Amino acid sequence: MSPEEHLTRLGFGFAISQSLKAAVDLDIADRLVAGARSAEDLAAECGVHAGALARVLRVLCAEGVFHEEPSGVFGLTAVGDALRAGRGPLDFLRMLNAEPYLAFDKLSHSVRTGEPSFDVVFGLPRFTWLAQNPEAAKAFQAAMVAYGRGVNEAVADAYDFAGCSTVADIGGGHGRLLSAILARNPHLKGILFDLPSGVEEARKGVGGPLPNTSFIAGDFFEGVPAGADVYILKKVIHDWDDEKSVAILTAVRRVLPPHGRVLLAETLVPPGNAFSTIKLIDLTMLAITGGLERTEDEYASLFARAGLSLSRVIPTAAAIQLLEAKDA
């Protein structure tokens, strides 16, 4: 591929992503489990135009998602198999290619200002907009579950809670992470802290059993509950700019006991020029929420500004790390 062809391919990234969304929406991977099929056969079953579907599948074959046999039928690849229901990030792909896809049309606004282009396209900040659009909010939650599949378990497995008595999950949502931690550490008490809507769902057991848990609703910009010796925040700080992130961490530090620890479960941006999904997630955070992914040094700086000190980074079995900090 020449440099010019490479650049052209990158420029057509929108066509690839929307072709992928079309294949997801039509459940193409699940329809090919029993064997290769023609575009005409698939189109009749899906109720779509056969020629148009074939052209979409041809693009995805070039990306390794499907393969076209000499006879003209389409089959699954290992990549395409990950598009089957319950096996891959289907809901995450659907969400990415909905509102975020549209917001990226104004990415130049984010580059000029450092502010989310989502706000310009939709007229409201992302989470405010989601609160007013329940179907999109439901799709967003499903996307987060799909993208984070296995992460809660990996985080719960990676940290030794043996010497701890109470763990507070700050911004814990439906309680999936806290449920995983308590299941592995029955000696622990839990505190689930989130906005009222999240706490209500957690009380219902949406995220799993939460024995010995106190449910507290509130806003972490106004303060967090005392009474824990470990405070964990999973994928919270990456939603916010530096000033707001320091405010959240400062609120935690105020209630942290002398022996307490703060755990951030975040994915670090690696050094170097190699591909990393987190680099794309970081750009998405810029355009959609105004948050950002960070390097280890950048998290250490946030901790220091909040009166905390990064003590170690703990790897997990998933694409996420635990950053442990203590009172400086």
Just list the catalytic residues: 238
Runs of H (alpha helix) within 148-215? 151-158, 176-184, 196-203
Alpha-carbon distances, residue 70 vs 37, 67, 127 (angstroms)? 12, 10, 48
CA distance 293 to 266: 8
CA-wise closest residue to 232 among 218, 242, 244, 220: 220
Alpha-carbon distances, residue 179 vs 30, 63, 153, 194, 201 (angstroms)? 31, 38, 9, 15, 13
CA distance 125 to 127: 6
Angle ∠(179,184,190) on CA atoms, nearest 5:
45
Contact at 8 Å (CB) between 215 and 202? yes
CA distance 268 to 137: 26
Reported as type and span, the H/E element at residue 271 is none
Runs of H (alpha helix) within 232-305? 242-255, 277-288, 296-305
CA-wise closest residue to 251 among 218, 282, 278, 284: 218
What would the two tokens of residue 246 be? 């320091």
Reported as type and span, the H/E element at residue 68 is strand 66-68
